[in-house]
Amino acid sequence: MRRGGGGGRGSGNYTNPCLTLHQPWASLLVYGIKRIEGRSWTAPIRGRLWIHAASKVPEEDTIKAMEDFYREIYAVNGITDVKFPEHYPVSRLLGCVEVVGCVRCDELASWEAVPEGVRLEGQTDFCWLCEQPKKLLVPFEMRGYQGVYNLEKKIYEAAVRGLVSVEGPMPVKFPFPDPQDPFSLKPGSISEGFSENKASGVEKSESLSVAIAGARAAATQFNKKY
């Protein structure tokens, strides 16, 4: 298994790239609830990214904080029935998503071409844009690594046969600046038409502001980011 050099920040040769996340963030991503993966570094890949859940068992308060956060941001778009995972397994390969691009947090917040709730998901420097979630019918037990790394061939070959598509509460298709260029969604690519003072037009209710603060606190306390 190839570990991602430089904490996943390098370009690297990725054949079956995988990223380890703590729970509940890992399951929220493969269930299509989470559409933005926030990082302090830009996405080194485009295409399929396997998602692995780290070994740390999440606290109930952490799960509640993140579920409250997603309830609130989906409510912004009128969706009030979000079905969360019944379980948040650890030390397991859970499924995959398609990384279609990466933009800065301020770009996402001002991007009127995507739903308001998606714009609220960006809480870190860089936002990896994720589509087409798929989950494993039977999650695979395995060890994870820091950064982006390649799955072992035998794990990939077994996992790829057990994937099923997931319909999230509100699937999103991120529009490409250049439809002919699959790498055109990158930091700086959608900000040319933004005014310097333009910010997200989403009006935050008190409950939404509390949920956002709770999600930030949970991520910081749980040390989600590698």
pLDDT of res. 10: 45
Q: What percent of the chain has pLDDT over 70?
A: 87
DSSP β-ladder status, 163-165 and 148-150: unpaired
Amino acid at 167: E
Could you tell me which residues are beta bridge partners of residue 19?
51, 148
Length of the chain: 226
Whose tokens are 């979630």? That residue is 133
* Helical residues (DSSP H) of the chain, grouped into ranges: 25-30, 60-75, 105-109, 116-121, 153-159, 206-222
pLDDT of res. 27: 98
Query: What is the arithmetic mean of pLDDT over 108-133?
Result: 95
pTM over 0.75: yes
pLDDT in tens, 4-40: 433 444 456 899 999 999 999 999 999 999 999 999 9
In three-state secondary structure terms, 184 is coil
pLDDT in tens, 58-105: 999 999 999 999 999 999 999 999 999 999 999 999 999 999 999 999
Which H/E stretch holds residue 47? strand 47-53
pLDDT in tens, 142-180: 999 999 999 999 999 999 999 999 999 999 999 999 999
Query: What is the arithmetic mean of pLDDT over 181-190?
Result: 91
Domain boundaries, the chain: 17-185+203-221
pLDDT band at 182 (very low <50, low <70, confident <90, very high): confident
Between helix 206-222 and helix 60-75 the angle, nearest 10°, is 140
User: Rounded distance, CA 189 to CA 205, Å?
Assistant: 30
The CA-based diameter of the chain, rounded to the nearest angstrom, is 51
What CATH number does the domain located at 17-185+203-221 have? 2.30.130.30
pLDDT of res. 46: 95
Written as six digits, the tokens of 197 are: 């003072």
Q: Which of 118, 107, 112 is nearest to 187 (CA)?
A: 107
